[in-house]
Amino acid sequence: MEPCVGNKFRLGRKIGSGSFGEIYLGTNIQTNEEVAIKLVSSLFSWLLAEVHVKEKFYSDFFEVVQGKRGNCADNCLLICCGCFSYNKFFLVPEEVNDLFVNDQENVKTKHPQLLYESKLYRILQGGTGIPNLRWFGVEGDYNVLVIDLLGPSLEDLFNFCSRKLSLKSVLMLADQMINRVEFFHSKAFLHRDIKPDNFLMGLGRRANQVYIIDYGLAKKYRDSSTHQHIPYRCKNLACMQSFVFYVWF
């Protein structure tokens, strides 16, 4: 019996890989419609979540150092994050740790990174060039994200065309790519992983439409209610040099 996801989607062959996770061809058991299924294991998901934790840590902890926050000794937890060839030990403010401790949905799903991406898909739903979110949930040791099945990436097309595109093709693609990024920004988020691999063409009647995918590194850059840009804060590692310890194995 072929494995199923959410008792609704049949898992097929692997069709690609993302920065953190693998993409499989899937089929809706009820409608026989093909979809794309993204699986992220606990290791990959927590590593990518570490990126968000550290970014918030550097900005928030800098305020502690400047005296804008409470006592850092009373306000921090010791966290150990493994990262392939090395382990990093650093202090993380409790409000950052709340991302994993106080959010019941995060605890339940175990792998908060794909949960974060699924929430972004919901925020962006309805936008041109945004894949439809079909399902999100947990299956065993994996978080699972199901979206529309799309066509080749721009990197694939570029290689297929011997890495040479006509001026007309470049202009048509660029126009759509700019519109996708502009829509992303209109929702108060920066994608932060813009590259040909993350722009995919549609299929069938939408074969000429460009889609933008992979929102795992996206970050909010302005307040949704006031539309004011979130203040820039120093994230220079040098600012934290005396507070961050690296242990190499």
Q: Read off the pLDDT of residues 105-148 as tens digits, 9 standing for 90 and up.
A: 343 444 478 899 999 999 999 999 999 999 999 998 899 999 99
Q: How far apart are CA 181 and CA 215, in angstroms?
A: 12
**Does residue 176 lie in a domain region?**
no
**Does residue 243 lie in a domain region?**
yes
Return the pLDDT at 13: 95
Number of domains the chain contains: 1
Find the catalytic residue in 193, 197, 214, 223: 193
Q: How far apart are CA 107 and CA 126, in angstroms?
A: 29
Average pLDDT over residues 44-69: 52
Average pLDDT over residues 156-162: 96
3-state secondary structure 185-226: HHCCEECCCCCHHHEEECCHHHCCCEEECCCCCCEECECCCC
Domain that holds residue 66: 53-103+239-248
Q: Is 27 helix (H, G, I), strand (E, B) or coil?
A: strand
Q: Are 116 and 130 in contact (CB under 8 A)?
A: no
DSSP-assigned letter for residue 132 = P
Is a pLDDT exceeding 70 seen at residue 32? yes
Is a pLDDT exceeding 70 seen at residue 248? no
- Average per-residue pLDDT for the chain: 77
Say if residue 187 carries a ligand binding annotation.
no
**Does residue 74 lie in a domain region?**
yes
**Does residue 206 lie in a domain region?**
no
Return the pLDDT at 179: 98
**Does residue 177 lie in a domain region?**
no
**Does residue 91 lie in a domain region?**
yes
Catalytic annotation on 148? no
Count Cα neighbours of 91 within 13 Å in the Cβ-side half-sphere: 18
**Does residue 67 lie in a domain region?**
yes
**Does residue 212 lie in a domain region?**
no
The residues near 8 (Cβ < 8 Å, ≥ 6 apart) are 28, 29, 30, 135
